[in-house]
Amino acid sequence: MIRVMRLEFVDVSKVYGNGTLGVAGVSMRLEPGLVGLLGPNGAGKSSLMRIAATVTRPTSGRVLLDGADVIARPEPLRRNLGYLPQDFGVYPHLTAREFLSYLAAVKGLPATTARIRIGDLLELLDLAGAGKRPLGKYSGGMLRRVGIAQALLADPRVLIVDEPTAGLDPEQRVVFRNMLADLAADRIVLLSTHIVSDVESVAADIAIMAGGRLLVRGNPDELLWHARGRVWEVMVPPGELAVLRDRHPVSKMIRTGAGVRVRLLASCPPLPGAVQVPPDLEDAYLTIVRSSSPRETAGARR
């Protein structure tokens, strides 16, 4: 029987040496399942992921694995961890199979087990045909898939992946998202991204960060509530688009022969003829992130 794990952040903060705030008082409990961590670039997602992966120590707060202090004793988590950082690097003169074999040895996998596992992962990630090619000749998307393979090598109980679909084509992104959803059936999966579509189809548990803080966590329906009654569609001439975008957050635009169909956020009809529409997850994400910004907060106080 597989043991159920629990990973917990308790009031975790990270301030870098130059005074930059990476994470500000984040508390969050992770249990088996997939948590999608959404946020704009610079939100603090990667800082939190590095802390979770024991790469970086927090300035304050605690990280617990089944109640035990990970900061004081990181080895139990590291033995059960698969981690794909945003800036994953490789040895360019090695082939994918050689590189993965080296990492498998570092992780302590028996040679026979590693050989079978590597073959399965290369096949799964459509890299088997390039197995003898040096990594230095791989495309960015292929290198990303090698990074995914190394994170899955030891069949980890905790999987932390930071912007994993960068460089993947649409079909590969779907394959990888579905793979993560399957893995999350009996293990902790934390997926960090700034792309809403990467989580909306696979995550029933979504956390949104901005400015180093955890703003909201909930299921998609709970997040949609934040944008209810605030989403409008309106057709405008191309020449009026810049003014409209300056006044309101725009989530989508479609250019047509009759003008530009704009989907935007506003508390009341932004223009005559605007039609209120049901929110989607991208609308909710934009609403939550915008409401946390100093500019939006100041506007609300007025």
pLDDT at 125: 86
Q: Which of these three, 196, 217, 238, is where a domain ends?
A: 217
289 closest CA partner among 86, 43, 49, 21: 43
pLDDT at 164: 82
DSSP 3-state of 82: strand
User: CA dihedral defined by 32, 51, 199, 174, rounded to 10 degrees?
Assistant: -90
Half-sphere exposure of 221 (CA within 13 A, CB side): 0
**Is residue 272 located within the same domain as residue 193?**
no
Instruction: Give me the domain span that covers residue 11.
Output: 7-217
Question: CA-CA distance, 43 to 164, in Å (whole number)?
Answer: 17
Terminal C-alpha separation, the chain: 57
Q: What is the average per-residue pLDDT within 268-297?
A: 86
**Is residue 189 located within the same domain as residue 260?**
no
Question: CA-CA distance, 286 to 81, in Å (whole number)?
Answer: 32
pLDDT at 41 over 80: yes
Contact 285, 265 (CB under 8 A): no
Percent of the chain with pLDDT over 90: 69
Domain assignment present for 286: yes
Which CATH number goes with the domain that contains 230? 3.30.70
pLDDT at 139 over 60: yes
pLDDT at 298 over 60: no
Separation of CA 113 from chain center: 30
pLDDT at 275: 96
pLDDT at 302: 25
In tens, the pLDDT along 252-267 reads 999 998 899 999 999 9
Report the DSSP beta bridge partners of residue 161. 84, 191
Question: CA-CA distance, 202 to 197, in Å (whole number)?
Answer: 9
Domain assignment present for 2: no
Q: Report the number of distinct structural domains present in the chain.
A: 2
Domain assignment present for 1: no
**Is residue 20 located within the same domain as residue 148?**
yes
pLDDT at 1: 43
Question: CA-CA distance, 153 to 83, in Å (whole number)?
Answer: 10
Q: Which of these three, 180, 198, 217, is where a domain ends?
A: 217
**Is residue 87 located within the same domain as residue 190?**
yes
In terms of residues, how long is the chain?
Answer: 302
Of the pLDDT bands very low, low, confident and very high (cuts 50, 70, 90), residue 3 is low
Q: What is the average per-residue pLDDT within 13-28?
A: 94
**Is residue 199 located within the same domain as residue 80?**
yes
pLDDT at 67 over 90: yes
User: CA dihedral defined by 251, 41, 22, 5, rounded to 10 degrees?
Assistant: 80
Domain assignment present for 262: yes
Mean pLDDT score of the chain, rounded to an integer? 90
**Is residue 232 located within the same domain as residue 83?**
no
Q: What is the pTM of this model?
A: 0.86
**Is residue 182 located within the same domain as residue 279?**
no
**Is residue 206 located within the same domain as residue 230?**
no
Tokens of 67: 């109640």
**Is residue 245 located within the same domain as residue 194?**
no
**Is residue 130 located within the same domain as residue 58?**
yes
Tokens of 1: 């029987």
**Is residue 232 located within the same domain as residue 155?**
no
Q: Picking from 33-42, 60-69, 124-133, 239-248, which range would have the lowest pLDDT averaged per residue? A: 124-133
Give 20's DSSP letter.
-
**Is residue 141 located within the same domain as residue 254?**
no
Q: Which of these three, 195, 217, 239, is where a domain ends?
A: 217
pLDDT at 300: 31
Which CATH number goes with the domain that contains 163? 3.40.50.300
Q: What is the average per-residue pLDDT within 46-67?
A: 95
Tokens of 245: 């975008």
Report the DSSP beta bridge partners of residue 275. 233
